[in-house]
Amino acid sequence: MTRINKTSKFAIKGALAALALGLSAQGALAEKVKVGLLLPYSGVYAALGNDIQAGFELGLETFGKEYDFVIANEDTEVKPPQGLAKARKLILQYKVDVMAGIVSSGVLGAVRDLVDGAKVPLIVANAGNDDATGAKCSPYITRMSFSNAQVNRPMGKWLAEQGVKKVFTLAPDYAAGRQMIDAFTASFTAAGGEIVGQEYTPFRKTQDFGPYLAKAKASGAEAVFVFYAGGEAISFVKQYDSFGLKKDIPLYGSGFLTSSLYVNAEGPAAEGVITSLHYVPTLDNPENKAFVEAFKAKTGRLPSEFSAHGYDAARALVEALNTGARGREGIANALRSVSFTGPRGETSIDPATGNIVQPIYVYETVAGENGLTQKVLASLPVEADPANGCAMPAPK
């Protein structure tokens, strides 16, 4: 595997040097595949981008030994115009066979028409905007992470089944926040629950959650359900505890609230919080145990859902290549029929939408020997997202 550094200059000490020196026949005969990684390496989501890349490279090393992957890295900076410019660079200048990555749904929206028009396969390794595999779907976009609705929809029914009847919801005021809360609300109310209050906080601008927590406390809610991620999640979980709500009103949410990537920064305030997600590092299956062991050996830390996205995105690419698919069109077509058993469990792509189909797990954050960890409480039924306006031809 040849890696292009973050300044986007091709490294010459890998595959090119190997050919010049006449190294092993295996290296010389390996098929070259150019991959563009479009991730944030600076700014608020840099940690996510680095975790996705670490998982992706581990996946290629684990499953793709017979291929010579040439990796080009470009920094989106979580800015849609920047993401579009960098995607154009990967496609036109480096002529990549396939792109992977994208953390922000805004960036995904910005590059969607370019990807579709240029007919370059894109493996989404994070961005969860429902429209990407709904009304704005494309046969060249395959999502190996999650959709916003997918993570939260099962939690509404599960929470109602636990006897919770009244819930107050909170989320940041942007597309992902609204989509995640909408999915939870729809399934919770369909199961007989009642939303007694709903607030959306200014995205990346809210430092004091006190006024919103006061409304939750006064609402008569039996539980609070939220979506927050990154720095906002850390602040919210800490303030929920310090405000005194934790002991009176249980906190539930989307699993990004207590991601293993930053849960230790939340400290004891995160203990007892129950959330739902498609991956946690404590999942008890052989594939996940092997992934955790290999990721720790490579990085010195536990994997998060973001590193699992990268790992499985790489696996999906290799599985597509293993079918004999070559070239942009062939890879895009093969990706839509990928299925395998991975760290998350049974994982596949719905060919009708290009979206991942996967289990969703309910877990509680608990104290462990080496810090906070995850206790899996339930595995919720696997179900594909509805088409949500997606209409595209079946894979060839």
Which runs of consecutive H residues, i.e. helices, occur in the chain? 15-21, 25-29, 46-63, 80-92, 105-118, 148-161, 175-190, 210-218, 230-242, 263-266, 286-299, 305-322, 327-335
The span from the CA of 104 to the CA of 240, in Å, is 26
How much is the pLDDT for 16? Answer: 34
Q: What is the pLDDT along the chain (396 residues), one digit of tens a residue?
A: 776 654 333 332 333 333 333 333 344 456 799 999 999 999 878 999 999 999 999 999 999 999 999 999 999 998 999 999 999 999 999 999 999 999 998 899 999 999 999 999 999 999 999 999 999 999 999 999 999 999 999 999 999 999 999 999 999 998 899 999 999 999 999 999 999 999 999 998 999 999 999 999 999 999 999 999 989 999 999 999 999 999 999 999 999 999 999 999 999 999 999 999 999 999 999 999 999 999 999 999 999 999 999 999 999 999 999 999 999 999 999 999 999 999 999 999 999 999 999 999 999 999 998 889 999 999 998 889 999 999 998 887
Query: Which positions ≥6 away from 190 have C-beta within 8 Å?
Result: 156, 157
The secondary structure of residue 394, as a DSSP letter, is P
**311-322 exposure pattern, b = at least 16 Cβ within 10 A, e = fewer:** bbbbbbbbbbbe
How do beta strands 122-124 and 141-143 pair? parallel
SS3 126: coil
**Among positive and negative, which fits the CA dihedral 349, 350, 354, 357?**
negative
Give me the helix-helix angle, 327-335 and 305-322, nearest 10°: 120
Any idea what DSSP says for residue 113?
Answer: H
3-state SS string for 223-240: EEEECCCHHHHHHHHHHH
Closest CA to 312 of 342, 291, 334: 342
pLDDT the model gives residue 4: 63
Closest CA to 316 of 52, 56, 134, 66: 56
What SS3 class is residue 11? coil
What is the rounded distance in angstroms from the CA atom of residue 275 to the CA atom of residue 374? Answer: 10
Q: How far apart are the C-alpha atoms of 174 and 178, rounded to whole Å?
A: 6
The structure tokens listed for 198 are 């709903």
Q: At what angle do helices 305-322 and 286-299 cross, to 10 degrees?
A: 110
Span 149-277+360-380: which CATH code?
Answer: 3.40.50.2300
The half-sphere exposure of 86 on its side-chain side, counting CA atoms within 13 A, is 27
CATH 3.40.50.150 assigned to domain 2-146+284-357? The reply is: no
d(C-alpha 249, C-alpha 262), whole Å: 23
- Asked whether the beta carbons of 317 and 61 are under 8 A apart, the reply is no
DSSP state string for 366-383? EEETTEEEEEEEEEEPP-
- Residue 17's nearest CA partner among 5, 6, 3 is 3
Alpha carbon distance 308, 255 (integer Å)? 14
CA 251 to chain centre: 22
Q: Where along the chain do the CATH 3.40.50.2300 domains lie? A: 2-146+284-357, 149-277+360-380
| Strand 345-350, strand 166-172: pairing | unpaired
Q: Quote the pLDDT of residue 30.
A: 64
pTM above 0.85, yes or no: yes
Tell me how far CA of residue 246 lies from CA of 19, 287, 357, in angstroms. 61, 35, 33
Contacts of 227 (CB under 8 A, 6+ apart): 152, 170, 171, 172, 176, 177, 180, 181, 253, 254, 256, 257
The pLDDT of residue 226 is 98
